Amino acid sequence: MNGCEIIKCPYYRDNICINEAEYIDGNDGEPCCPFNPNAILKTEINFTYLMQPSKRYTFEQPKLKQWVELWCRGKVLNLFAGKVRLNVDEARNDIDLSMNADYYWDAFQFVANWKGKKFDTVILDPPYTYRKAKELYNNHLMGQLPRLKNKLLSILNDKARVISLGYDSVGMSTKRGFKKIAICLVCHSGDSKDTIALVEQRIKNTTLNLL
């Protein structure tokens, strides 16, 4: 006998829950009954479409900058900070000593060595292409991004958000305990590729290979 049978839930019939469409388990993101103590309301992903001329630095695009700021919560780590400060409570890291940053570490080394308070939001805006790495980061290539994402888990609060920018919508993914809650597609016109900005909410504390 499972928990649904024990409490005689009216929505559990013939060994099937008939009322799980609108709720997910806050621990694993799986569909569940609203009577589950971990149940949270499932919502559609918030979608925004912007038209914004491409700029050398991501947050020189005012519409995109504002969108990212609106989705930030609490203490924010901008791991590839670049030139433009955001209007949030921001800790800024950039490997380029000429940038307007608070710390000048390799991104992975920053995360691995961080001893301060955990962050409520992390912004991941690495160079998307080899060309961008050459132009903006003096040929410092961002390799093994999955390894960096794994390590990020150790410096995030339980309900933290991660905002990822790039040419895909993979993000932190469910295997790291995250749920996608918002996406912004930025059209730069001409033959420029669109930028995809993704917001994910941590719903489950997961640890992966952090080496």
191 and 111: one domain?
yes
* 210 part of a folded domain: no
- What digits encode the pLDDT tens for the residues 145-170? 889 999 999 999 998 999 999 999 99
Structural domain count, the chain: 2
pLDDT digits (tens, 9 = 90+) for 86-117: 999 999 999 999 999 999 999 999 999 999 99
Alpha-carbon span 76 to 129, nearest angstrom = 25
Six token digits for residue 81: 């900070």
Phi, psi values for residue 85, rounded to 5°: -80, 145
Among candidates 170, 179, 66, which has minimal Cα distance to 124? 170
| Residue 90, in any domain of the structure | yes
Q: Using an 8 Å Cβ cutoff, are 208 and 152 in contact? A: no
Indicate whether 123 and 52 sit together in one domain.
Answer: yes
Helices (H) and strands (E) in the chain, counts: 5, 11
Q: What CATH number is given to the structural domain containing 94? A: 3.40.50.150
Listed as ranges, residues in the chain with pLDDT below 70 are 1-7, 18-22, 24-31, 38, 40-44, 128-143, 207-211
Identify whether 207 is part of a domain. no
Tell me, yes or no, whether 97 and 80 share the same domain.
yes
Report the 10 Å Cβ neighbour count for 168: 9
CA 19 to each of CA 8, 10, 16: distance values in angstroms, whole numbers, following the listed order: 14, 9, 9
Range of the domain at 152: 44-202
- Evaluate whether residue 94 is within a structural domain: yes
